[in-house]
Amino acid sequence: MDLQQVKQRFGIIGNSPALNHALNIAVQVAPTDVSVLISGESGVGKEVFSKILHQLSNRKHGKFIAVNCGAIPEGTIDSELFGHEKGSFTGAFEARQGYFETVNGGTIFLDEVAEMPLGTQARLLRVLETGEFIKVGSSKVLKTNVRVIAASNVDLPGLIQKGKFREDLYYRMNTVAIHIPALRERADDIPLLFRKFAIDFAEKYASQPVQLDVEATQFLQKYPWPGNIRQLKNVAEQMSVLAHFRLVEGQEVLRYLPPMPLSQNLMVLPGHQAHGGEEHLNERDILYKVLFDMKKDLNDLKKVVAHLVEHNNIDGLPVEQQEVYLRHVEEEEPVGESIRISPAVVQNTTVVSDFRSRFDHQADVEDIEENLSLEEVERRMITRALKKHQGRRKNAAIELGISERTLYRKIKEYDIEI
């Protein structure tokens, strides 16, 4: 079966090299019984790949079950996976078969395997190495013939270093690794995916498919999509239901895109590789990038104003500075907190002079702020959010765009009084 047939059969849309590479590996390894570890961010389609591996294997007539390890309580996951005997624990009123027993001869997909407790990891390692397991509350060794496909959206080697994941289990599962690219890494596929979702929802809601103009399409391609394909599908459904016109134009598409908090993977600076998971994202790098872009834009505007005072036009300025000026003139975006540029500014030297003096004042403020360390900027942001929400960490964390756990860690790190 060639790649195009696989895409049609399993509803995979896209032609990016990274996606095709992942599919090629899946097709090649599917007929074997080796364990596979699928990596990728949440929402990229890891379960779809597990079904490809099962359906193209010799086990395709056997059972397939997908288990979300993160959704099973720690106290019951051993029972769910390996079964238990009657009376083995409180509430065990009868014996129960686990997934490894009921799926014998088939395939089991363990999603979010990083959430599995260390004790369960040891049991899983034995299954992978010998095919043997013991039910909870039993001493009888049972055999199973199950192919294990695991998936994770976090950096497992990082968890190994912290002692939260077994190294021997990692290498046993990682016989073949498949990495599924994030949606932002395959931006050319976004219009194709959106069109497919729009057609599906038009059929579901008995309406005309919603379409995007060129500018709206570009907005979607530039958006970072932290929720990946799942999030794009949700946005397509929102547009299908809420859009007043079937053609969504330009910035109208922004109504359906949630703002991005700093803790999300908005960007990766050169030399930094995101591995998924909040703990591996360098929040200070992101903050620094945002501040650097703001400073650059402000400096460009200052140069524009100085040039306007002398020449009363923008001729002779570098192209990028002309674009900055025209963007603020046409869109009347706020500069700093209160300054707006209008076409009338360039016709009035007095207004321009006043405008420049206000920028000079802004520059003084900027020079003062430049002396602040990134730690101090971060500390101030956290303190301000906590005061605003009267010490409620959950609300402050939501506003800052970070988890409550990260906020608690920052409070301890900076010794912030609540």
Please report which confidence band the pLDDT of residue 219 belongs to, taking 50, 70 and 90 as the band edges: very high
Domain assignment of residue 268, yes or no: no
Q: Is residue 269 part of a domain?
A: no
Q: Is the pLDDT of residue 37 over 90?
A: yes
Whether 148 and 244 share a structural domain: no
Q: What are the pLDDT digits (tens) for 260-303?
A: 654 444 333 333 344 444 434 445 445 545 555 565 666 666 66
pLDDT category of residue 384 using cuts at 50, 70 and 90: confident
The DSSP element (H or E) to which 212 belongs, if any, is strand 211-212
Same-domain check for residues 201 and 246? yes
The Cα-based distances of 352 to 295, 309, 328, 339, 345 in angstroms read 21, 6, 15, 12, 6
Which of 256, 275, 297 terminates a domain? The answer is 256
**Spatial distance between the Cα atoms of 84 and 101, rounded to a whole number of angstroms:** 11
Q: Which domain holds residue 366?
A: 283-370
Together in a domain, 26 and 42: yes
**Mean pLDDT value across residues 102-116:** 95
Same domain, 145 and 16: yes
Domain boundary among 135, 161, 179: 179
DSSP per-residue string spanning 17-48: HHHHHHHHHHHHHTTS---EEEE--TTS-HHH
Decide if 315 is inside a domain.
yes
Q: Is the pLDDT of residue 235 over 70?
A: yes
pLDDT at 325: 59
Domain count, the chain: 4
Whether residue 25 is found in the same domain as residue 64: yes
Nearest-angstrom CA–CA distance, 91 and 134: 19
Is 415 or 34 the better-scoring residue by pLDDT? 34
Q: Which residue has the higher pLDDT, 19 or 325?
A: 19
Mean pLDDT over 68-90 rounds to 89
Q: Domain for residue 328, yes or no?
A: yes
Give the tens place of pLDDT for each residue, 356-375. 454 455 444 444 444 456 67
Coil, helix or strand at residue 266: coil
On whether both 403 and 305 belong to a single domain, the answer is no
Computed over every residue of the chain, the mean pLDDT equals: 80
Least confident of 53-57, 139-143, 322-326: 322-326
d(CA 98, CA 165): 23
Q: Which amino acid is at 156?
A: L
| Residue 153 and residue 29 share a domain | yes
Three-state DSSP class for residue 146: coil
Q: Is residue 218 part of a domain?
A: yes
C-alpha to C-alpha distances, 248 to 242, 256, 259, 260, nearest whole angstrom: 11, 11, 19, 21
**Which of the two residues, 273 and 194, has the higher pLDDT score?**
194
7 band by pLDDT with thresholds 50, 70 and 90: very high
Same domain for 117 and 55, yes or no, is yes
Beta strands in 112-175 (DSSP E): 132-134, 141-143, 147-152
Amino acid at 69: C
pLDDT exceeds 70 at position 343 = no
Query: What's the mean pLDDT in 19-30?
Result: 96
* CATH number of the domain where residue 387 is located: 1.10.10
Q: 64 — phi, psi (to 5°)?
A: -130, 130
Residue 17, pLDDT above cutoff 60:
yes
The number of beta carbons lying within 10 Å of the beta carbon of residue 208 is 12
Q: Is residue 271 part of a domain?
A: no
DSSP string for 222-235: HS--TTHHHHHHHH
In sequence order, the 6+-apart residues with CB closer than 8 A to the CB of 378 are 283, 284, 287, 410, 414
What's the whole-model pTM score? 0.62
Residues comprising the chain, all counted: 418
pLDDT (0 to 100) of residue 75: 85
Output the domain CATH number for residue 76: 3.40.50.300
Same domain, 75 and 95: yes
What pLDDT is attached to residue 372?
Answer: 52
Instruction: Identify whether the C-beta of residue 81 lies closer than 8 Å to the C-beta of residue 87.
Output: no
- Interior CA angle at 44 toward 245 and 233, to 5°? 15
Tell me, yes or no, whether 204 lies in a domain.
yes
76-90, 210-224, 328-342: which is most confident: 210-224
Query: How far is residue 261's CA from residue 21's CA, in Å, rounded to a whole number?
Result: 31
Q: In what order do the strands lie in the sheet with 36-39?
A: 64-68, 107-111, 147-152, 36-39, 176-179
Q: Give the range among 51-55, 64-68, 243-247, 278-282 with minimum mean pLDDT.
A: 278-282
For residue 328, the tally of other CB atoms under 10 A from its CB is 20
pLDDT value at 89 more than 70: yes
Judged by average pLDDT, the poorest of 183-197, 200-214, 352-366 is 352-366
**Residue ending a domain, choose from 122, 154, 179:** 179
User: In 3D, which of 69, 68, 50 has the Cα closest to residue 59?
Assistant: 50
Spatial CA neighbour of 146 closest among 84, 62, 71, 79: 62
Instruction: Indicate whether 29 and 57 sit together in one domain.
Output: yes
Choose the most confident range, by mean pLDDT, from 129-143, 345-359, 374-388.
129-143
pLDDT score, position 278 = 40
Q: Can you give the CATH number for the domain in which 209 is found? A: 1.10.8.60
Q: Do 230 and 352 fall into the same domain? A: no
User: Is 212 in the same domain as 159?
Assistant: no
Of 49, 8, 43, the C-alpha closest to 25 is 49
pLDDT tier, 146 (very low <50, low <70, confident <90, very high otherwise)? very high
d(CA 84, CA 380): 53
How confident is the model over 154-171, as a mean pLDDT? 94
- Which value, to the nearest 10 degrees, does the dihedral of the CA atoms of residues 401, 260, 370, 304 take? -160
The top-scoring range by mean pLDDT among 225-239, 252-266, 278-292 is: 225-239
Q: Span 103-110, mean pLDDT?
A: 96
Q: What is the pLDDT of residues 301-340, one digit of tens each?
A: 666 666 665 666 666 656 555 555 565 554 444 444 333 4
Q: Give the span between the Cα atoms of 242 and 207, in whole angstroms.
A: 12
**pLDDT score recorded for residue 400:** 79
In a domain, 275, yes or no: no
